[in-house]
């Protein structure tokens, strides 16, 4: 297959309708994705945009995700998808998990190790974020720390800020 016909496909997903895809979309665009499939759906439900992307992938293409957990919630699902990509000659990159499986020089044990450590880190990060939120004395819109940023004129802060709560 000629190099010019190989495409970079991005896949972005958030679990609920009120979550925002902007950060993922920005990073996937910066990574050079020519086409980005996006959806707001729990990974436990049918993901029509993921299926649409899987249906059009061809040998030489590369799938790029922002983080592993955007592609699949279970390790089994991740391993199955990446094994399918490898078998079909499709590259795979995760921008925030240091995975670039375009040439498959690293062995499957390496990929499994990264997946396992990523799952542990995700659980740790989630707990750390909850701790930061509950201990934060000032919160901005949606309960997230405002970090001293000005509030949009239509939104009012939950509490007056005397100082930013996070450096």
Active site residues: 15
Element holding 65 (H helix, E strand): strand 62-65
How many angstroms from the chain centroid is the CA of residue 46?
A: 18
CB 43 within 8 A of CB 28: no
CB 77 within 8 A of CB 70: no
- Give the contacts of 130 (CB within 8 A, at least 6 positions apart): none
Residue 11, strand partner residues: 37, 65
Name which of 20, 11, 148 is nearest 72 in CA terms: 11
CB 58 within 8 A of CB 87: no
């Amino acid at each position: 297959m000629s190099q010019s016909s190989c495409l970079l496909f991005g896949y972005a997903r958030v679990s609920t309708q009120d979550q925002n895809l902007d950060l993922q979309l920005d990073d996937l665009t910066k990574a050079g994705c020519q086409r980005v499939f996006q959806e707001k759906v729990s990974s436990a439900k049918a993901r029509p945009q993921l299926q649409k992307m899987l249906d059009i992938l061809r040998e030489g293409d590369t799938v790029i995700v922002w983080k592993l957990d955007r592609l699949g919630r279970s390790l089994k699902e991740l391993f199955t998808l990446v094994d399918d990509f490898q078998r079909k000659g499709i590259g795979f990159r995760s921008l925030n998990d240091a995975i670039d499986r375009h040439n498959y020089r690293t062995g499957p044990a390496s990929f499994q190790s990264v997946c396992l450590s990523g799952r542990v880190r995700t659980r740790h990060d989630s707990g750390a974020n909850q701790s930061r939120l509950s201990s934060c004395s000032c919160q901005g819109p949606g309960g997230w720390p405002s970090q001293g940023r000005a509030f949009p004129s239509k939104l009012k802060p939950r509490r007056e800020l005397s100082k930013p709560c996070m450096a």
